[in-house]
A and B are shown apart, each in its own frame.
Chain A
Amino acid sequence: MSADHLLQETIGAVVDGELSRKDEVAVQAHLNECHACALKVIAAGHLKSATSRAARSFAPSQEALARLTAMAQQTPPKRATVVPIRTVKWTAAAAMFVLAIAFGGRMLRQSETLSAEILDEHLATLSDAASPEVLSSDRHTVKPWFQGKLPFSFNIPEQSALPADTALIGADLTYVNGKPTALLLFTIHKHHASVFVSQQQVSEFVHMSGRSGFHFSLGRGGGLELLGVSDVNSAELDALVANLTAAQ
């Protein structure tokens, strides 16, 4: 812990009181030795409290508050009465039905959430306010940046080995499904493409058919899963993901 500086997420977790007891001890030990990280934590604490003060910006007028209070004071409607099912067979059948719906619903929900999460992460990279942590087209800069940040390593082909008119523009560390993931950013012609490199099987929970005009493409190699997302045509996205997968 003391060799590397704390990640932004960890500093956030410190000021948000979200560290586990075990992590708290390790982080505290690091902060006792690392002046730079201690300053960052202090600054993050100041930012948090100032944000809280600045964000409390709007208050309803007295009339609006009175209207809202009157609404909140209404009595909630009574819940619908549940009619008991009399026979054991019907109870068992109903239980199976509910389990099927619940399980299917959970899978569908997870699938929707992960597809949205992947797309959300990709769209966030398009926002000009969100520059990636490492901004470089040089694989010898990008790959070493991930050392110590990920529990795995991966390869990036030389620029000359990438598909035509495709370029690496940067990278970021992100979290998909709660797991650390390398996010590689490319341009294909004038389109942006994100490739998520991880050890997990995210693709099982992603609608590979695409979402909102964006395509997904999947490759597996070297024990890694590479999931690409872009609005470029699917053939060119597939070519990029296949190229990266072959390098693993």
Chain B
Amino acid sequence: MGSHARETIGFQDLAVPLLGSLYNHAQWLVRDPVEAEDLVQETLTKALRAFGSFEPGTNFKAWIYRILRNTFLTSRTAIANARTVYLEDHPDVLEVAEPGLTPEAEVIKLNDLAALRTALEQLAPHLREVILLCDLEELKYREIAAVLDVPIGTVMSRLARARQNLRQILTSNSGDSL
């Protein structure tokens, strides 16, 4: 696809349909509506500037999510989160050794989207990020690897860990509420 085609399918044709998703992802990252809008605005500014380097035929969504993430990483919130992600204590989660829900019980629990949303909020940010990119944004493993700048093997192990932890948190929260 040459420059003519690039002009035919313009930046706005690719970016506008993704604004809602970008905003949603941004708010999961920064946890504040005003900061989320700022983050998407800054992402759009950088993406517009760099659009000439976008390779037509590749996944625009993965490309702009990478810019969003890199923009986030330079933000004050990301630096604060980086400290919280790995070092903060979660003793209530630690007590759960095995994902205790049976598949049937899990289906019942999963119908409670509010509980699942709470569990997602409790998930470590780097695990939540990978599960959002996979399950919500439906990016392929190789695209997630490009967005996060990690090998595909890391994407796979993080996804497995994210899902395991999500089940553990759901189980823990379920026990708390009984």
Contacts and interface: CB of A to CB of B under 8 A. Distances in A.
A233 to B, nearest CB: 19
29 contacts: A8-B164, A18-B141, A43-B107, A49-B135, A50-B111, A50-B113, A51-B131, A52-B136, A54-B113, A54-B116, A55-B136, A61-B33, A68-B40, A69-B16, A71-B41, A72-B11, A72-B19, A76-B51, A76-B52, A78-B52, A113-B150, A116-B150, A117-B150, A117-B151, A123-B85, A129-B165, A175-B153, A175-B154, A175-B156
Interface in B133-159: 134-136, 140-141, 149-154, 156-159
A58 B19 contact: no
A38 B11 CA distance: 44
B52 A177 contact: no
B141 to A, nearest CB: 5
Given A65-B20, A69-B19, A124 B161 contact: yes
A43 B163 CA distance: 11
Contacts of B12: 72-74
A84 interface: no
A55 B117 CA distance: 7
A130 interface: yes
Contacts of B91: 128
Interface in B90-110: 90-91, 93-94, 96-97, 103, 106-107, 110
Contacts of A58: 23-24, 27-28, 33, 36
B154 A129 contact: no
Interface string B1-38: 00000000011100110011001100110000100110
Contact of A8 (B44, B52, B107, B160): B160
A51 B157 CA distance: 18
A99 B29 CA distance: 37
Contacts of B41: 67-68, 71
A68 B37 contact: yes
A12 B154 contact: no
Q: Kindly state the interface size class of chain B when it binds its partner.
A: 35 or more
Choose among A121, A129, A131 the residue with the greatest number of B CB atoms under 10 Å from its CB.
Answer: A129
A44 interface: yes
Choose among A50, A56, A131, A179 the residue with the greatest number of B CB atoms under 10 Å from its CB.
Answer: A50
Q: Interface on chain B toward A: helix, strand, loop, or mixed SS? A: helix
A127 B16 CA distance: 37
A143 to B, nearest CB: 20
Interface in A82-113: 113
Contact of B163 (A12, A77, A128): A12
Given A16-B141, A56-B24, A72-B12, A47 B106 contact: yes
A131 B28 CA distance: 24
A141 B16 CA distance: 54
B6 to A, nearest CB: 9
Given A48-B135, A116-B149, A130-B165, 19 more contacts: A9-B156, A9-B159, A16-B141, A18-B141, A39-B103, A47-B110, A55-B135, A60-B40, A68-B37, A68-B40, A69-B16, A124-B126, A128-B94, A129-B94, A129-B123, A129-B168, A176-B154, A178-B151, A178-B153
